Structure 1
């Protein structure tokens, strides 16, 4: 088992990574659970795949699982479901020192974490991430949120989990498309600050996508280590360091907004396209070698993932996509910082990007040139 400490001041916790952890949830979580009845928030798909395993483990450890099963999909990160979860937790008698289990991908983790953050001014929760994206990114670091009509993740809180249990076996139940969406966040860690890991991904990404357990466990651990080191230094994203984790997200969130946060474009697919666009825009402005920029698109294309904006078939222009970006939560005094690249593994935060030039660049990408 890989055990990675996340040394947040006042809120330290561990991320444990090993095959079979979901079958051992009861014994792994037992030291943190104060009551026999344990509330678990999940979605219908995850409950069908893992509900019996997790429930049986809790029962074997002397606990009684209580389930809140939500619809699967990004639309669940809403005011309506946030209210439903908090009302249910109150009805369950959850107290501030109790732990709520979040069993699922990023949607469930974000929603449950936000509910825990606001319930009685903050109760505790444990992340049981079941997607690659949530295992390497959203379950670690304490960002919790819901979406609103104005944009993605605009209402939320920083609220650290008490424990994260990442079981690579959970990925075996996912469609390849979902694994690819998570893989985009894996590659992000190499692209933003670790050229050697980017090269490892180029050599091993196909094996990871095809189910190689060792490759998956290594990639999850390496990604979590990278994120933990950044979050420890900039928990609340005030110094600019944690902002590096948003590489590809400004472009990606705009694409998600344009596609209505639907299954037409999964979050990780938006991040993948966003990283392609960030690299190409960096090359356009002379920051990055064009050949290195194309390595990003080439790699995604070799894995059968979307690598060109034109593939989305959007009936929109660059200015409309830039308009979505103006709702980004990273806006500061009317300026939108962009994550750009000076090379593979050399991301930085730029605060002087010309949004008109970004719109022109996007017009070209939308036309496949």
Structure 2
């Protein structure tokens, strides 16, 4: 078991616990935080696999719990489901001393976290991420949000969890595609600021992309260490935290255009594609080498992830550009992109020329 502290001047410190068998020990970890009741927010798929083990552990530790389940999938990150979850918390009679537990992937973590942020102006919540993507990314850092037809994660709040329990054993229940999707976020962390980590992921660590537990544990630990350091320095994305969005400006636009259809394009697949596009755009502008681009593409492809826009479908350049201009990082309508000078050397590029991005998108295969 590894404990990674997350701390910053603007929020209360908390621990991310990474290890095996943590779901069975969850009650012991959560009991000191739960002065009253807990409500487990989960999705219908995860509820059938992991909810019983969690409730048994909580009961054994003397913690009362109830379950609120939402439909599985990105569609639950909506105003309708947020309202339904909040109404259930009120119906159950939760108060400000109680705790919400998010048991699931990124969708559940975002939805439950936002509900906890809004309920009675904010109550404590605990993240128990059950997907690789959530363990290495969305469960850490306090970003909570829902989607709108105009874009992904555009309505939300910063609300840090009190605790994150990342149980490597639960990843064994994931379909291969979900493991690969999470692996995209792992690769992203290496691309941002740790070339040596990326080297390991491209070599011995590549076994994690196919579910090897030892490789997954090391990958989760290092990814959380990287994200923890960035979040502690810049909780609300005023500066360096924006680097964690490498691949997301391109990727979110594509996700929005396919209607957040996980069957067509999973979030991690969009991030992998977006990272490749960001590196290609950087090379087009003379900011990084063609050799780095080729290496990134090769490692992403070897993990079974998309590298080219055509693999996600057919898109219009102007539509993608409009969606990118509505990205949360945009300022005054001007594009902000996360680019790189090389592997492990990401940077924030503000005021990017939209006409150059449009030309690039057409080169990538989008229609004019």
- Is TM more than 0.5 here? yes
Partner of 2:327: 328
Partner of 1:87: 87
Report if aligned partners of 2:326, 2:333 keep a CA contact under 8 Å in 1.
no
Report if aligned partners of 1:330, 1:337 keep a CA contact under 8 Å in 2.
yes
Partner of 1:71: 71
Report if aligned partners of 1:4, 1:225 keep a CA contact under 8 Å in 2.
yes
Size of the aligned set, in residue pairs, is 365
In 2, distance between residues paired with 1:133 and 1:328? 21
Partner of 1:132: 132
Report if aligned partners of 1:297, 1:308 keep a CA contact under 8 Å in 2.
no
Q: Where does structure 1 differ by over 4 angstroms across 4 or more consecutive aligned residues? A: none
In 1, distance between residues paired with 2:231 and 2:219? 18
Partner of 1:280: 280
Report if aligned partners of 2:282, 2:341 keep a CA contact under 8 Å in 1.
yes
Partner of 1:236: 236
Taking the TM superposition and a 5 Å limit, the aligned residue runs for 1:334-349 are 334-349=333-348
Tell me the secondary structure at the aligned position of residue 152 of structure 1.
Answer: strand
Q: What TM-score, normalized by structure 1, do the two folds share? A: 0.96
Report if aligned partners of 1:154, 1:329 keep a CA contact under 8 Å in 2.
yes
Structure 1 residue 25 displacement after superposition: 1.0
In 1, distance between residues paired with 2:346 and 2:157? 26
Structure 1 residue 205 displacement after superposition: 4.2
Partner of 2:32: 31
Taking the TM superposition and a 5 Å limit, the aligned residue runs for 1:164-175 are 164-175=164-175
Partner of 1:16: 17
Taking the TM superposition and a 5 Å limit, the aligned residue runs for 1:299-338 are 299-314=299-314, 316-338=315-337
In 1, distance between residues paired with 2:260 and 2:205? 26
Q: Which moved more, 1:348-357 or 1:189-198?
A: 348-357
- What does the per-residue CA deviation read over 1:318-347, in whole Å, with 9 as the maximum and x for residues that have no partner? 222111112111121221211111011111
Report if aligned partners of 1:280, 1:294 keep a CA contact under 8 Å in 2.
no
Partner of 1:120: 120
Q: Which 5+ residue runs of structure 1 have no aligned equivalent?
A: none
Structure 1 residue 119 displacement after superposition: 0.7
Taking the TM superposition and a 5 Å limit, the aligned residue runs for 1:53-202 are 53-202=53-202
Report if aligned partners of 1:288, 1:341 keep a CA contact under 8 Å in 2.
yes
Tell me the secondary structure at the aligned position of residue 140 of structure 1.
Answer: coil
In 2, distance between residues paired with 1:176 and 1:12? 34
Tell me the secondary structure at the aligned position of residue 17 of structure 1.
Answer: strand
Structure 1 residue 8 displacement after superposition: 2.4
- What does the per-residue CA deviation read over 1:149-186, in whole Å, with 9 as the maximum and x for residues that have no partner? 11111100000000000001111111111111111111
In 1, distance between residues paired with 2:337 and 2:260? 21
Tell me the secondary structure at the aligned position of residue 328 of structure 1.
Answer: coil
In 2, distance between residues paired with 1:305 and 1:325? 22
Q: Which 5+ residue runs of structure 2 have no aligned equivalent?
A: none
- What does the per-residue CA deviation read over 1:67-116, in whole Å, with 9 as the maximum and x for residues that have no partner? 00110000100000000111111122222232110000000000000011
Report if aligned partners of 1:184, 1:269 keep a CA contact under 8 Å in 2.
yes
Report if aligned partners of 2:185, 2:268 keep a CA contact under 8 Å in 1.
yes
- What does the per-residue CA deviation read over 1:111-136, in whole Å, with 9 as the maximum and x for residues that have no partner? 00001111111111000000011000
Report if aligned partners of 2:273, 2:305 keep a CA contact under 8 Å in 1.
no
In 2, distance between residues paired with 1:130 and 1:255? 25
In 2, distance between residues paired with 1:177 and 1:211? 10
RMSD: 1.3
Tell me the secondary structure at the aligned position of residue 22 of structure 1.
Answer: coil
In 1, distance between residues paired with 2:137 and 2:222? 11
In 2, distance between residues paired with 1:90 and 1:188? 39
